[in-house]
Amino acid sequence: MPDEINEPIAGPEAIPPKEGRGILKQMAVIAGLGLGGALAFLMVAPPRVSGASRAARLEWTKRRGEIQQAIAAENSREAASRAPATSSSQ
């Protein structure tokens, strides 16, 4: 059996208008169901996602505060260690 078929492909054929409308209706139903499903998902998903992002934001804010406190403590220690050295040299 040969791997190549040398027969030409037939040209385009017109379909009856009734069948064409049926195909368009099916495409519209599929698109409508897809959009409806996406809309339903978007109405349900954001509260869950926003809750998770809010928890992460609160955790990050707490962590950022701890970092700022550590930096301030380190800066005050450095200032305290430099203060006696500058006062004794005066």
Q: What is the pLDDT of residues 9-26, one digit of tens each?
A: 888 889 999 999 999 999
- Tell me, yes or no, whether 4 lies in a domain: no
- Tell me, yes or no, whether 13 lies in a domain: no
- Tell me, yes or no, whether 7 lies in a domain: no
Mean pLDDT of 57-83: 91
Q: Rounded to the nearest 5°, which phi and psi values hold at 4?
A: -105, 135
Residue 66's domain spans which residues?
44-90
DSSP 15-33: --HHHHHHHHHHHHHHHHH
pLDDT band at 82 (very low <50, low <70, confident <90, very high): confident
- Tell me, yes or no, whether 28 lies in a domain: no
Q: Which residue has the tokens 């700022």?
A: 68
Number of domains in the chain: 1
